[in-house]
Chain A
């Protein structure tokens, strides 16, 4: 997009000299408050809105050169509330674009059935009508319909904002999974910054008046907001959320306080000095925290145990998850487990705090803003 402007006849400027380079085969999120021109921008890509000035190039070719219906059929479009055809079955809804492109009825339906499976819809829904589906299921149909003709580009306009948070999270995870498999060029519009950060490879923050405030990967957005508007839009817990982008792999774990329920007095003595002991079962799965005093060797699980909370998996989970575990833990220690749920060690809030500080230092060297962030974090940690 090169210096694109949309001005309406009444003088309103919806999008103001916007220049964006949208990377191939990744998710670019346009985010901003309502009225910032993000939907207009999206609609200029499939020419439902024509720009007043500037040009939009797709793979180096001006969009204006193609017949508009051909262009639209080569771009999937997903909309809030799905916008399904209420008078057609789920299968026929999904088969719409292949049918229009002249692929036979049978072939189109086979393709539609395949897509239903891909987006996680049960085949038994094929002959149903949209009113018989829940909002989340309708939205899945919307995604399947957009993917039906296998378009290289997918435009999504607040597709998940009308469903409840639990369903929304499911749909977001599903989208990321599908994107992993298909590698489309996705442009995604949302007003939800969390959704933008979760989904986006690149995030374009737009401000009222249709101007681009910042265009950056989500981690950079969180560490380096371009100005006060972006910082404000990101919200108060920007520092905490940024931890999602740091791996917990490097955390220094200790096995000192970890004891098996059938451990003898000798092992207990070795762990002496630790304020709490993490008791595990014979397989190494965590049972709970215990106070060392009053423990009887041989059957540690008999005494009162404090819940060990939700453990984290180093390497798979982020530093944010590790910190969350530590904050929620009654002892202030986070429990690290392997993929099978066996304890591999524990880590204190202090250690996590140090890891955060060093991650910030390494993540964006020479950035003065990072100096403030660990302060943010330590406020939460104790």
Chain B
């Protein structure tokens, strides 16, 4: 495994430079997808009839292979990072719209009624009640989007070396250095796992109100009936 971290000069980058590039190419599209998905999902929640067609169309997008999209996009955006990131953003959108819609819809009816009755306007209600309660569902969607985006960036190697860590796969073939392929696969996997761990951490920080914790819950449940029993006596 000599030269494991010896990046061929044609990539014009260091190992850590490739990692940074990979993360940028993977995460910017997810961010763009999230920003587009939020209003789209809200429209789908507001106008129920909109959801099935939106879901249908986005699912068709998801079915188009990224390579085919690259071929079409190259005519417009050339052999650039942008060509890689556009389909990735679309894929993220496809995953995130249903996640957000389901999350927002999971807000209990009486919680919505109570917030309306307390004088929340629609915007305030969306930002302060529906969206926060949808956070676990949104983060679940983000985890899927981020993991698939990180793995898909490598395909960019096929269009003018825009695949970041994926370019190592191409170079492994070109220079007959299999250790570069191992490096590419391992590093990509580790990146995906680390990003996922960060998202889990973010979720736990954002949702202290979620029932979790294996030790805490049963204890709570056991402690609860006591006041009632006392009252009964």
What residues of chain A have their CB less than 8 Å away from a CB belonging to chain B? 46, 48, 68-73, 75, 77, 79-89, 96-97, 100, 129-132, 134, 136, 142, 145, 155, 164, 166-167, 170
Q: List B residues 99-137 near A (Cβ within 8 Å).
A: 108, 110-121, 124, 129, 132-133, 135
User: Are B118 and A134 in contact, CB atoms less than 8 angstroms apart?
Assistant: no
User: Are A83 and B111 in contact, CB atoms less than 8 angstroms apart?
Assistant: yes
User: Are B119 and A79 in contact, CB atoms less than 8 angstroms apart?
Assistant: no
B232 close to A (CB within 8 Å):
yes
Q: Which residues of B contact A142 (CB under 8 A)?
A: 114
Query: How far is A134 from B222 in the complex, measured between Cα atoms in Å?
Result: 11
A-B pairs with lowest CB-CB distance, top 7: A83-B114, A83-B110, A77-B117, A72-B119, A73-B119, A129-B209, A69-B119
| Contact residue among A79, A87, A166 (Cβ-Cβ distance under 8 Å from B113) | A79
Q: Which A residue's beta carbon lies closest to that of B108? A: A83
User: Are B232 and A77 in contact, CB atoms less than 8 angstroms apart?
Assistant: no
B176 close to A (CB within 8 Å):
no
Query: How far is A100 from B121 in the complex, measured between Cα atoms in Å?
Result: 11
User: Are B119 and A129 in contact, CB atoms less than 8 angstroms apart?
Assistant: no
Contacts A96-B118, A167-B231 given; indicate if A79 touches B209 (C-beta within 8 A). Answer: no
User: Are A87 and B228 in contact, CB atoms less than 8 angstroms apart?
Assistant: no
Q: Which residues of A contact B77 (CB under 8 A)?
A: none
User: Are B111 and A85 in contact, CB atoms less than 8 angstroms apart?
Assistant: yes
Query: How far is A69 from B121 in the complex, measured between Cα atoms in Å?
Result: 7
5 A-B pairs with C-beta separation under 8 A: A72-B118, A83-B112, A85-B111, A100-B119, A134-B227
User: Are A73 and B118 in contact, CB atoms less than 8 angstroms apart?
Assistant: yes
Query: How far is A84 from B129 in the complex, measured between Cα atoms in Å?
Result: 10
User: Are B231 and A46 in contact, CB atoms less than 8 angstroms apart?
Assistant: no
User: Are A134 and B119 in contact, CB atoms less than 8 angstroms apart?
Assistant: no
Q: Which A residue's beta carbon lies closest to that of B232? A: A166
- B132, chain A: closest CB distance, angstroms: 5
Q: Which A residue's beta carbon lies closest to that of B135? A: A87
User: Are B118 and A97 in contact, CB atoms less than 8 angstroms apart?
Assistant: yes
- B99, chain A: closest CB distance, angstroms: 17
User: Are A166 and B228 in contact, CB atoms less than 8 angstroms apart?
Assistant: yes
Contacts A70-B119, A83-B113 given; indicate if A166 touches B231 (C-beta within 8 A). Answer: yes
Q: List B residues 116-167 near A (Cβ within 8 Å).
A: 116-121, 124, 129, 132-133, 135
Query: How far is A96 from B120 in the complex, measured between Cα atoms in Å?
Result: 10
User: Are A164 and B111 in contact, CB atoms less than 8 angstroms apart?
Assistant: no
| Contact residue among A46, A75, A89, A136 (Cβ-Cβ distance under 8 Å from B228) | A136
Q: Which residues of A contact B121 (CB under 8 A)?
A: 69
Q: Which B residue's beta carbon lies closest to that of A96? A: B118
Q: Which residues of B contact A89 (CB under 8 A)?
A: 209
Query: How far is A70 from B232 in the complex, measured between Cα atoms in Å?
Result: 41
- B129, chain A: closest CB distance, angstroms: 6
B211 close to A (CB within 8 Å):
yes
User: Are A170 and B117 in contact, CB atoms less than 8 angstroms apart?
Assistant: no
Q: Which A residue's beta carbon lies closest to that of B109? A: A83
Q: Which residues of B contact A129 (CB under 8 A)?
A: 208-209
- A148, chain B: closest CB distance, angstroms: 9
Query: How far is A57 from B111 in the complex, measured between Cα atoms in Å?
Result: 28
B6 close to A (CB within 8 Å):
no
- B212, chain A: closest CB distance, angstroms: 10
Q: Which residues of A contact B120 (CB under 8 A)?
A: 69, 100
User: Are B119 and A87 in contact, CB atoms less than 8 angstroms apart?
Assistant: no
User: Are B119 and A131 in contact, CB atoms less than 8 angstroms apart?
Assistant: no
Q: Which residues of B contact A97 (CB under 8 A)?
A: 118-119
Q: Which B residue's beta carbon lies closest to that of A88? A: B209
Q: Which residues of B contact A48 (CB under 8 A)?
A: 113, 116-117
Q: List B residues 207-233 near A (Cβ within 8 Å).
A: 207-211, 220, 224-225, 227-228, 231-232
Contacts A79-B110, A86-B133, A132-B220 given; indicate if A72 touches B116 (C-beta within 8 A). Answer: yes
Query: How far is A100 from B120 in the complex, measured between Cα atoms in Å?
Result: 8
Contacts A130-B209, A164-B228, A167-B228 given; indicate if A85 touches B129 (C-beta within 8 A). Answer: yes
Q: Which residues of B contact A84 (CB under 8 A)?
A: 111, 114
User: Are B118 and A87 in contact, CB atoms less than 8 angstroms apart?
Assistant: no
Query: How far is A77 from B133 in the complex, measured between Cα atoms in Å?
Result: 21
Q: Which B residue's beta carbon lies closest to that of A134? A: B224
User: Are A82 and B110 in contact, CB atoms less than 8 angstroms apart?
Assistant: yes
User: Are A46 and B211 in contact, CB atoms less than 8 angstroms apart?
Assistant: no
User: Are B232 and A87 in contact, CB atoms less than 8 angstroms apart?
Assistant: no
Q: Which residues of A contact B231 (CB under 8 A)?
A: 166-167, 170
Q: List B residues 176-233 near A (Cβ within 8 Å).
A: 207-211, 220, 224-225, 227-228, 231-232
Q: Which residues of B contact A82 (CB under 8 A)?
A: 110, 114
- A112, chain B: closest CB distance, angstroms: 14
- A45, chain B: closest CB distance, angstroms: 10
Query: How far is A170 from B228 in the complex, measured between Cα atoms in Å?
Result: 9
- A96, chain B: closest CB distance, angstroms: 6
